[in-house]
Structure 1
Amino acid sequence: MISVSDLSTPLPTVLIWFIHFKPSSSQDGENTTTPSYQDSNFSDLDYSDFPVPCGKEYNRQFRSWFIPTFYSIICLLGLVGNLLVIITVLSFKRLKTMTDVYLLNLSCADLLFALSLPFWAANSMTEWVLGLVLCKAIHVVYKVSFYSSMFLLSFISVDRYFAIAKAVSSYRHRSQAMLLSKVSSAGIWVMAVIFSIPDMNYTTVNNNTCTPYSSSSDHLRVTIQGTQIVLAFALPLLVMCFCYSSIVQTLYQTRNFERNKAIKVILAVVTVFLVSQVPYNLVLFWTTIVTAQGGTDDCSYENSLLYAADVTQCVAFLRCCLNPFVYAFIGVKFRHDLLKLLKDIGCLTQERLLRSAWGRRRASGAMDTETTTTFSP
């Protein structure tokens, strides 16, 4: 008897040969004769049912230059912008309101997020060679900063809602505001860590890539991505829409000359969030559905989803370098403090600082002037 290991023919071919082989028997009851391998005819076999691997070479080439380029730009802008916010807040001791505390924590979260981007840029270019421990650590830092940033954006909108739409009732609890902001900020970081535990457990180095997913059809991927969509997009979106729509309604009822400017700032905040987050989460939602259905056999369709995910993800990550502009630098007092800091380190002239101070006095009638994140440009 000939074993499979004795054949020089590949195993699938041998199996096909055995399946299609039918022994012939003589009429006089003689023993059957097994035909040789060379006597078999494979010309009529149908190979269309055999799975063909989906080629992703063009997608890999695209990711090898697109993601590192955009991640580097986002990282650089995110580091500069958020460091300026942190240094300015700490230098001028601006932790006087709830929004100040949330703003400082938001900048810390975005800074951590920006610091993790170079590792993901390298992960998209070459094999992951930094080991499993660092793979898990970087992924946890990324997810914790991601969740905490989204939660903080929600809490900032809630604080603005009570400061403007519920100004009378919030003034009564003003003495407890700082304690509440610190406790809630600590709670946000704790929740972010808790929601990152699944990534901490399942992140591994698969096919020389740092990833929490074993394959594109992994059902664990459905759970992780579904949780991210609900907690880090849908929930903050609902909170922000309710709070800012209520604020706009309150502002329309006032006759303050800064009303239109305040509404424009709110629209800018909401627009940045929607433009950066909606496309990515729509693609993420659709890929989650495809994964839950066991993947797709259409190679072109699968590659299109990969391209869409890469592009929209880079747009979504822009939030870490845009947040300082829409939440901090747009504030009159914060902008003045930043210019003063730049003057102290020699990056700004005295004349420019005086012009900024004159513009600040002209805008002194802005609403909520005791907050660094004022709704007045």
Structure 2
Amino acid sequence: MTRVRDLPNILPAVLIWLMHVKCSMSLREFNKTITIVTDYNFSTDSYPDYNYSIDYADYPEVCAKQFNRQFRGWFMPTFYSIICFLGLVGNLLVILTFFYFKRLKTMTDVYLLNLSFADLLFALSLPFWAANSMTEWVLGLMLCKAMHTIYKVSFYSSMFILAFISIERYFVIARAVSAHRYRSKAVFLSKVSSAAIWLMALIFSIPEMTYTTINNNTCSPYSSNYDKLRVKIQASQIVLAFALPLLVMSICYSGIVQTLCQARGFERNKAIKVILAVVAVFLFCQMPYNLVLIVNTVVTAKGGVKVCNYDNMILYAIDVTQCMAFLRCCLNPFVYAFIGVKFRHDLLKLLKDLGCMSHDWFIRFTRGRRRSSGATDTETTTTFSP
């Protein structure tokens, strides 16, 4: 009898032959022929031309990412929770200290307050980032767009503010005479520049407002149909939010170090250490993520990754370095505010007044602390004071 699995291989030839025979024989003869054909034991060896096979090598291999999803399921929420807690506590303390003691007297104070608001805004969005990495996104498209937009606004504003802080410190320390001329207008200029920074950050975040979507039940900034657009936006982000601030900070802090090297004493050494700490924290948080972002941008521009293991390695690198970049929101208060003597003293006094610290502990922490003087410390400076 005919083997059923062989019928798909010979059926086209049989049908063509039967159509030809039907045209030249009677109905009885045709039915008889059909019986003979169906009773014949066909073999695919008799019809080598119709022995079809599928070459699966021509089809793209689906890259398995279940291990990456499992890694993100526990790694990202853990780090997001830690960063969220530290970011909320640190930045809220900075904001409370500013408003409690009415400390907005210098450009640095205004910039630090805006930096704390930017980092606090981002810290408040981290629970949504944690939820997005653990389960399917069920909070709707509007909240998805808001999450990514808040991140970008906070990211751009923080980077620009850090650059402006370095510029302001350069003029106060390295160009003290020129800075003194504009001392009466310093706070006003800092408020205007801060408003301009927030406006620029909002404008640069328009792509996130426009193209953020829910892709495969996950809130993502771009769908797979916008690879060319993603390359352009990521390239502009690398230039505007990393390369440009790094260049400005490098020039300004180099000039500050040269000025401090001409001074003498213990104050100079501590101020230089603070500058090195500021640059080190910035590079530690932003350099790895931006390097991975450059690699990912180049790969996307070339059409994507062909090797599955390499694709997964990039995903792991993006997850880890992104968490390092997110650390900035909880490290900035310690680097730019708490490291200064005056701000640290005000913070301890705030904790004492709120009942979080006893008077004895306040005396113990503040005993023997003397305020710095000279080029490294102006009347109300909070940055670079030992």
Query: CA offset at residue 304 of structure 1?
Result: 0.3
1:285: which partner in 2? 294
Q: Deviations over 1:307-362 (max 9, x none)?
A: 00000110111111000000000010100000000001111121232244433336
Compared with structure 1, are the counterparts of its residues 309 and 38 closer, same or farther at alpha carbon in structure 2 (3 Å cutoff)? farther
Compared with structure 1, are the counterparts of its residues 140 and 79 closer, same or farther at alpha carbon in structure 2 (3 Å cutoff)? same
Compared with structure 1, are the counterparts of its residues 302 and 38 closer, same or farther at alpha carbon in structure 2 (3 Å cutoff)? farther
2:224: which partner in 1? 215
Q: How does 1:1-377 map to 2 (within 5 A)?
A: 41-43=51-53, 45-215=54-224, 218-361=227-370, 363=372, 367-377=376-386
Alpha-carbon distance in 2 for matches of 1:355, 1:171: 36
Greater alpha carbon shift after TM alignment, 348-357 vs 333-342: 348-357
Query: CA offset at residue 301 of structure 1?
Result: 0.3
Aligned residues of 1:113 and 1:142 also touching (Cα < 8 A):
yes
Q: Deviations over 1:251-285 (max 9, x none)?
A: 00112430000000000000000011101100001
Aligned residues of 2:173 and 2:256 also touching (Cα < 8 A):
yes
Compared with structure 1, are the counterparts of its residues 92 and 204 closer, same or farther at alpha carbon in structure 2 (3 Å cutoff)? same
Query: CA offset at residue 49 of structure 1?
Result: 1.4
Aligned residues of 2:148 and 2:208 also touching (Cα < 8 A):
yes
Aligned residues of 1:216 and 1:295 also touching (Cα < 8 A):
no
More helix by share: 2
Identity percentage of aligned residues? 71
What SS does the aligned partner of 2:376 have? coil
Aligned residues of 2:342 and 2:371 also touching (Cα < 8 A):
no
Size of the aligned set, in residue pairs, is 358
What SS does the aligned partner of 1:335 have? helix
What amino acid maps onto 1:320 in structure 2?
C
What SS does the aligned partner of 1:130 have? coil
The structure with more radius of gyration? 2
Alpha-carbon distance in 1 for matches of 2:368, 2:216: 57
What SS does the aligned partner of 2:367 have? helix
Alpha-carbon distance in 2 for matches of 1:337, 1:160: 21
Compared with structure 1, are the counterparts of its residues 255 and 218 closer, same or farther at alpha carbon in structure 2 (3 Å cutoff)? same
What amino acid maps onto 2:219 in structure 1?
C
What SS does the aligned partner of 1:48 have? helix
5+ residue gaps, structure 1? 1-8
Alpha-carbon distance in 1 for matches of 2:331, 2:225: 31
Query: CA offset at residue 22 of structure 1?
Result: 7.6
Aligned residues of 2:173 and 2:375 also touching (Cα < 8 A):
no
Aligned residues of 2:274 and 2:384 also touching (Cα < 8 A):
yes
Aligned residues of 1:25 and 1:31 also touching (Cα < 8 A):
no
Alpha-carbon distance in 2 for matches of 1:42, 1:181: 75
What amino acid maps onto 1:41 in structure 2?
N
Compared with structure 1, are the counterparts of its residues 372 and 79 closer, same or farther at alpha carbon in structure 2 (3 Å cutoff)? farther
Query: CA offset at residue 136 of structure 1?
Result: 1.1
Q: Deviations over 1:214-250 (max 9, x none)?
A: 1297222112211111111011100000000110000
2:30: which partner in 1? none
What SS does the aligned partner of 1:313 have? helix
Over aligned residue pairs, what C-alpha RMSD do you find? 2.7
Aligned residues of 2:340 and 2:383 also touching (Cα < 8 A):
yes
5+ residue gaps, structure 2? 24-36, 45-49
What amino acid maps onto 2:79 in structure 1?
F
What SS does the aligned partner of 1:205 have? strand
Alpha-carbon distance in 1 for matches of 2:298, 2:171: 38
Query: CA offset at residue 373 of structure 1?
Result: 2.0
